[in-house]
Structure 1
Amino acid sequence: MADGGEMDEEAMRAFFPLSFGKAPARPGSAASSAAHSTTLRKPPNPSNPKPSASTAADDDSGAMIGPPRPPSAPAGEEDDEDGGGMIGPPRPPPPSARGNGEDEDGSDMIGPPRPPPAEEEDDDEEDDDMEDDDMEDDGDGGFNRIPLSNEIVLRGHTKVVSALAVDHTGSRVLSGSYDYTVRMYDFQGMNSKLQSFRQLEPFEGHQVRSLSWSPTSDRFLCVTGSAQAKIYDRDGLTLGEFVKGDMYIRDLKNTKGHISGLTGGEWNPKSKETILTSSEDGSIRLWDVSDFQSQKQVIKPKLVRPMRIPVTSCAWDHQGKRIVAGIGDGSIQIWTIKAGWGSRPDIHVEKTHTEDITGVKFSTDGQILLSRSMDSTLKIWDLRKMKTPLKVFEDLPNNYAETNAAFSPDEQLIFTGTSIEKDGDNGGLLYFFDRKKLELVSRVGVSPHYSVIRCLWHPRINQVFATVGDKKEGGTHILYDPSISQRGALVCVGRAPRKKSVDDFEVQPVIHNPHALPLFRDEPSRKRQREKILKDPLKSHKPEAPVNGPGHGGRVGTTKGSLLTQYLLKEGGLIKETWMDEDPREAILKYADAAEKDPKFIAPAYSQTQPKPVFAESDSDNEEK
């Protein structure tokens, strides 16, 4: 029985591939390292063509943020106590201190150095920590270091990518573009080709301006340039669209929905049934996802004069209790949701920006507010003192109405993207600023030819997303570091496309195309056909122009009474037309005697000087020649 069992097991094993039952390659394995070597970012940074030796690695290779540490300082003595502390984990020791940069098994060490032997844990416990879904145990070490060593690009759009959303698990990515489409990417199902698994077109001819996942990541909100927002499920199936308002009602509070194009929208982070939308009609509306035909609340911003000024951006705070909006007149207004609240804002700051506000963002602790504008500035506001901003970062070009600003997962860094200028040498960049010191930390070149619009740093997978594009092409760049990032891009980069097997038999179908024959060809468009018929006087039945004077050639003139009378006289034979039967020469000669006796035109002018006309005589010699 034992031998028979072994034979059955071997026979059963033949039906499965060789890789069946084997654990997938870990980020630190040799196979994974080979896959990530193809996605390494090039060292030269477009924003800093000639970096110094001490900062070149910090800008481009994903090293720690801040001034360079002394190379001779030991790993345990690198903490500054005088207020200039370093951000991020300590750098690995020199090769001499860690065995010439090799691990125990002879392979190169990847990532930060291991802890001292006294504090080293069992390998099984380390593996459990790496595979844990919750990244709270990672602490500050992983988030204070920008993952910049590797990069992949999600392509597919034909124009600039203006909307971006990543679900809370970091497994599914949504990207919306000016080409009117939304593409859905799934890291677990993608291979190294990085192709989207679904493409949607919410509204034909309308740009996609904002995307937002629900708190449970089972649905997402799609905001386009139309007046109606749509809700889709996780797989891209339409669940419904909100009602459109009546554009002939002047008071926006009496309309059932937006009447102009939407500018932004966001799902309530704490309530899976409430969403927020802003529009060009000058209103902000709260909706209940369970009822697409009615709205919960209409908010009209406070204006100096009663007019319709568009609301260019809006956002929730992290508790879902406050709403912030950027108004077209340059003001920022904040409302607190409470019992009996109305349209009057709790905080109103006028003239914050000179141009449209493209993005607003609350911090998690509710103390800091970011505002990004098309006036090339990023402003940091303290919500306790909103009269003047804490800091204004200038020279940040912005040419798109969807450019945003965001925080790092631990909110120690603030970053935003920049657009390409016509006469500028820099490409699309990501600017990282320190929240406490309010100073520039790093500039990262994302694309040398395209502008950076949306940016996001996902806290669970520790990867930076940035959307780029122009009028011809668009994509989503994902920056990661195999040593500190988890899942996300790391899952699909090392997954090669499935190779075709001998058993993969495909029947080549025979295509019968009867419509290629002239009998089955489609007729030309009706518009061109109508234009062609209008040019043909017979097919278009164009009325003939009226005749002035007596009738000619079968047409009756307008001088002998009404048209009906003329027709009856002609048909009765009373009006006879004989000129068609006469010889033209005889018809002219019958007036020759009368013309000679009574000349009317040329002859009277010469009656005194030349009573008898003298005609020119022909020269025979000239005629012969």
Structure 2
Amino acid sequence: MASDEEEEELAQLRAQRSQRTGVADLRGLQQKQKHAKTAAASYFEEPVSRPSTTQRAVVGLDMDEDDEDAPAIVDDLNADGDENADLQHGSLRAEFPMAFGQQESKIESLESVHAARLRSGSEAGTSAPQLAQPTAAAPARSQPGSDDGDDADASAPGVSSSGLGEEDLQLDPYMLPVSHEVALEGQGKVVTAIDVDHSGSRLLAGSRDYGLRMFDFNGMKSDMRSFRRIEPSDGHPVHAVSLSPTGDAFLVATGSSQIKVYDRDGKERGVSLAGDMYIRDLRNTKGHISPCTHAQWHPTDRYTGMTSSEDGSIRVWDTWNVLQKTVIKPQLAKPGRIAVTACAYNHDGGLIGGGMFDGTLQIWDVKGKFGTAASTGVVMPPKPQMIAKQDWRYVSGGGRVMRNAHEPSTEITSLAFASNGHSLASRGADETLKLWDLRKLKAPVHAFSGLPTIHSETACCFSPDESLILTGTSAQRNGPGGALLFFDVNKLQLVRRIGTVGSVVAVHWHARLNQIFMGTGDKSGGCVRGLYDPTLSERGVLLCAARKPRAKDSLDFEAPLVIHTPHALPMFKEAKQIRKRKSERDHDDAVKYHKPEVGSSAATLGRGAAGLIGKTGGTLLTQYILKNHGMLKNPAEEDIRAAILRHEAHADEFAAHTAAYNKTQPKKIFAEEEKEEVEEGS
């Protein structure tokens, strides 16, 4: 009996709690959690317009029907149908802004995003067939999750690369990812250097406005803004930027003779030493003595980098300590210094190529190094000492020097090695792109001519499958604009031309993303343009193409904070701004404003000492010392009349007349004053 009474009492307590909180048992809690999960899952979906409780009552909808998406009502005020319920809800709603409770969609429709960035079908100067859009419908890829930093694929839904048919391959056998275009945040001048890390998540772009911008695709929005901008060297344009094989650091070469190494987040790790310009032998200097022209990180060694300079040398660096390892001095046809305008590693770092300003192309085999090591017994010395002690030399093998590869006095702007080990592409300022076979450097395999360029950083690169060579052209003043050109390595012909508004300088085709990035610009500005195809490309710009940036709100504005301290000490008081009307009155007052007379020579001079025009106070140290010792007088304080009259007593001694006047005319006779004639009748 006691147990039955306890159960009845417990049931009554549960019923009372149910009336107070609306939750009677564990089942009710589970149901509320289910509704919360459903609401969280539909956070990024477009909200479905549903009638409110009052509207449902007015229309006559059944209030008791089971609506799983409707929020659970815990304790409805005035549940008995009080007429003041609407008034209470209205007064409560008036306390909040109109946008309260509205959830903004953070992801746009991918179809509309890609449709807005679809390139036009007309491309300047090309007869190649246009890319055909696949017609086969494939399973749609998953939409990005609710997290903004999610790395999920953002390709176009309904289409995948597996759905490409034979008809599409016949229309475009190269399957170039150039159907869509996106422009990243603009820069002040033309973009001259581009590099993307191995994973394809971060892009670096340097330009001639002395700045380098860093873009992160995983955290970027659809406005394509960079998360950081740095200036490696003030007043020097960025010529080259190269990321390490692991992507944890990058190397920057500017117009300065010193290179800089930064970590992944843009924090400076170190700067190289500048060489002694008075030492003639470049092997004995610790760094470049002239502006750098190019830089590249070793493709496999994360602690080695290479730079070229106008001093005529290529230097290999220890990027961890930013110390010089080796100096490579090219073989010259005659004594002197010739600038090295381009340098490059091959795919495994075993070869180094260098392009000279005189059109010479040279190749060094760095596998065959010889010299003296720095190891001393079992215990190794510190790494800086080891680098300073070792003496490695790189020599060029027979047949590795090609004279007049490009026209003399025209620089070689870029070099690119193919992974097959025997193909090399060189871009020159003589408006040519040449393909070389390293097994026979006597003559190029083919030369593509008619490629104008006015930039010394114009790049070239191979496609991921090495069937195409890419390069850019510069815009002409009275001719067509710049363009991105695709050349077939096997057929040795132009297969595609993509026109742009400005000049195309930097070019990079990322193999993992299958996206092409090019640095463009003209006299009005520059930017990085990315070419992609939703069906062929992945990640990269597709991750951030549909992310909407945060909308601007007027409440985000904050007025500058001003602190008024009337009782502060005089030394801490800030001078108040002069009112405009008072300054205008002072300007009108010529005496107060020290305005000179019109026509005087002092009117063209600036203000000097004591507010006078054309006067200086003698601010030199020598003038100050002489003035304090009485050896220098201020010309403004000197009486000119008294200085002249002091010589009156000795006037006879300094007479300018000859001795004859002393005898014939001892007494001076002055001219009589002429009297004015008075006219008659006046």
Provide the TM-score with structure 2 as the length reference: 0.65
**Counterpart amino acid of residue 543 in structure 2:** V
Q: Are 1:398 and 1:418, in contact at CA under 8 Å, matched by a contact in 2? A: yes
* CA offsets 1:321-350 (integer angstroms, 9 cap, x no match): 110000112101110012317354221111
Match among 388, 401, 421 for residue 476 of structure 2: 421
Does the 8 A contact of 2:608 with 2:617 survive in 1?
A: no
For 1:513 and 1:532, the matched residues in 2 are separated by 37
Q: 1:464 aligns with which of 490, 501, 516?
A: 516
Q: Name the counterpart of 1:536.
A: 615
Match of residue 467 from structure 2: 412
Name 2:426's counterpart in structure 1. 371
Q: For residues 531 and 435 of structure 1, do their structure 2 counterparts lie closer, same or farther at Cα, with a shift above 3 Å needed? A: farther
State the secondary structure of the residue aligned to 1:301. Answer: coil
Shift of 1:153: 0.6
The 5 A counterparts of 1:393-408 are 393-408=448-463
2:268 to 225, 228, 238: 238
Aligned match of 1:493? 545
SS at match of 1:35: helix
Match of 1:353 among 387, 406, 423: 406
- Residue type of the partner of 2:31? E
Kindly tell me: are residues 368 and 498 of structure 1, through their superposed partners in 2, closer, same or farther at Cα, counting changes over 3 Å? same
Aligned mates of 2:321, 2:161 — CA distance in 1: 51
Return the letter of the residue paired with 1:45. E
Q: Distance in 2 between matches of 1:40 and 1:278?
A: 40
Structure 2 counterpart of 1:318, one-letter code? H
Q: Is 1:443 aligned to residue 497 of structure 2?
A: yes
Q: 1:198 Cα deviation (Å)?
A: 0.6
Decide which of 317, 324, 342 is 2:346's aligned counterpart: 317
AA matched with 2:236: H
What is the correspondence of 1:43-122 to structure 2 with a 5 Å cutoff?
A: 43-47=121-125, 55=128, 58=129, 61-63=130-132, 110=159, 114=163
* Whole-Å separation in 2 of the counterparts to 1:413 and 1:441: 9
Which residue of structure 1 lines up, in the alignment, with residue 331 of structure 2? 302
- Is the Cα contact below 8 Å between 2:194 and 2:506 reproduced in 1? yes
1:166 matched to which residue of 2?
196
Q: Give the Cα separation in 1 of the matches to 2:108 and 2:43.
A: 19
Aligned-residue offset at 1:35: 1.5
CA distance in 2 between counterparts of 1:108 and 1:302 reads 57
Residue type at the aligned position of 2:393: G
How many angstroms does 1:109 deviate by?
A: 6.0
Q: Does 1:31 align with 2:109?
A: yes
1:93-242 paired onto structure 2 within 5 Å: 110=159, 114=163, 144-242=174-272
SS class of match (1:245) = coil
1:54-73 residue CA offsets vs partner (Å, 9 max, x unmatched): x4xx2xx435xxxxxxxxxx
Corresponding position of 1:584: none
Q: Partner of 1:80 in structure 2?
A: none
Aligned residue identity for 1:536: K
User: Structure 1: how far apart are the matches of 2:283 and 2:29?
Assistant: 80
Are the equivalent residues in 1 in contact too, given 2:110–2:157 (CA < 8 A)? no
1:254 Cα deviation (Å)? 0.5
Instruction: State whether residues 155 and 474 of structure 1, in contact with CA within 8 Å, keep that contact through their aligned partners in structure 2.
Output: no
For residues 23-66 of structure 1, what are the alpha-carbon distances to aligned partners after superposition, in whole Å with 9 as ceiling and x for unaligned?
xxxxxx99322211111112222335xx6xxx4xx2xx435xxx
Secondary structure of the corresponding residue to residue 3 of structure 1? helix
- 2:430 counterpart of 1:342: no
For the Cα contact (< 8 Å) 2:138–2:163, is it kept in 1?
A: no
Between the aligned partners of 1:372 and 1:62, the Cα distance in structure 2 is 28
Identify if the C-alpha distance between structure 1 residues 507 and 32 changes in structure 2 by more than 3 Å, giving closer, same or farther: closer
1:327–1:513 distance in 2 versus 1, CA, 3 Å = farther
Deviation (angstroms), 1:614: 11
CA separation in 2, counterparts of 1:439 and 1:269? Answer: 30
Sequence identity percentage: 39
Deviations 1:260-317 (A, max 9, x none): 111001000011111001111111111112222x311101111122212111010000
Match of 2:488 in 1: 434
Q: Mean alpha-carbon deviation: is it higher for 297-306 or for 405-414?
A: 297-306
Say whether the 8 Å CA contact 1:47–1:427 is kept in structure 2.
Answer: no
Distance 2:666 2:241 in 1: 99
Task: Give the count of matched residue pairs.
Answer: 492
Secondary structure of residue in 2 paired with 1:7: helix
1:559 & 1:463 partners in 2: Cα distance? 93
Helix, strand or coil: the match of 1:231?
A: strand
**How far off is 1:508 after superposition?**
3.3
- Residues 143 and 410, structure 1, Cα contact 8 Å, conserved in 2: no
Tell me the distance in 2 between the aligned counterparts of 1:178 and 1:357. 19
Once residues 179 and 288 of structure 1 are traced to their aligned partners in structure 2, the CA distance between those partners, rounded to angstroms, is: 28
Q: Deviations over 1:431-453 (max 9, x none)?
A: 111101111111111x22x1100
Contact 1:301 1:343 in 2 (8 A): no
SS in 2 for 1:34: helix
Deviation at 1:472, TM superposition (A): 2.7
Alpha-carbon spacing, 1:557–1:165, altered in 2? closer, same or farther (3 Å): farther
String of CA shifts for 1:365-421, please: whole Å, max 9, x gaps: 111111111111111111111011111111100100100111111000111000012
Shift of residue 600 of structure 1?
6.1
SS at match of 2:110: helix
Listed as ranges, the gaps of 5+ residues in structure 1 are 21-28, 64-90, 117-138, 522-528, 561-574, 578-594, 604-612
* In structure 1, C-alpha distance between the alignment counterparts of 2:674 and 2:525, rounded to whole Å: 86
Distance in 2 between residues matched to 1:7 and 1:170, nearest whole Å: 42
- Tell whether 2:553 aligns with 1:475: no
- Distance, in Å, in 1 between the alignment partners of 2:512 and 2:173 is 10
> How far off its partner does 1:555 sit?
3.0
Amino acid at match of 2:193: A
The alpha-carbon distance between structure 1 residues 145 and 115, as it changes in their structure 2 partners (threshold 3 A), is closer
Aligned to 1:314, what secondary structure does the other structure show? strand
Query: What is the TM-score with the length of structure 1 in the denominator?
Result: 0.70
CA distance in 2, matches of 1:254, 1:558: 71
User: Which letter does structure 2 place at the counterpart of 1:310?
Assistant: A
1:15-30, aligned counterparts within 5 Å? Answer: 18-19=43-44
Structure 1 residue 241, shift from structure 2 partner: 1.4
Counterpart residue number, 1:264: 294
2:472–2:485 Cα contact (<8 Å) kept: yes
Distance 1:407 1:104, change over 3 A: closer
Structure 1 residues 246 and 519: CA distance shift in structure 2, 3 A: farther
Mean alpha-carbon deviation: is it higher for 316-325 or for 485-494?
A: 485-494
Q: Which residues of structure 2 form unaligned runs of 5+?
A: 1-25, 46-106, 141-155, 371-391, 565-571, 579-604, 652-663
Could you tell me how far apart the structure 2 residues matched to 1:396 and 1:334 are? 25
Conserved 8 A contact 1:143-1:462 = no
CA 427–558 in structure 1, closer or farther in 2 if over 3 Å, else same: farther
C-alpha RMSD of matched pairs (Å):
4.0
Q: Is the 8 A contact 2:108 2:548 kept in 1?
A: no
| AA of the residue aligned to 1:6 | Q
Do the aligned partners of 1:47 and 1:429 also contact (CA within 8 Å) in 2? Answer: no
| Secondary structure, aligned partner of 2:240 | strand
- CA pair 7-429 structure 1, distance change in 2 beyond 3 A: same
CA contact (8 A) 2:257 2:292 kept: yes
CA spacing shift, 1:516–1:168, aligned 2, 3 Å: farther
**Tell me, what secondary structure is at the counterpart of 2:641?**
coil
| Rounded Cα–Cα distance in structure 2 between residues aligned with 1:92 and 1:16 | 32
What residue in structure 1 maps to residue 680 of structure 2?
620
SS of structure 2 residue aligned to 1:156: coil
For 2:30, the aligned partner's letter is G
Alpha-carbon distance between aligned partners in 1 of 2:252 and 2:203, rounded to the nearest angstrom: 13
The 2-side partners of 1:264 and 1:239 are apart by: 19
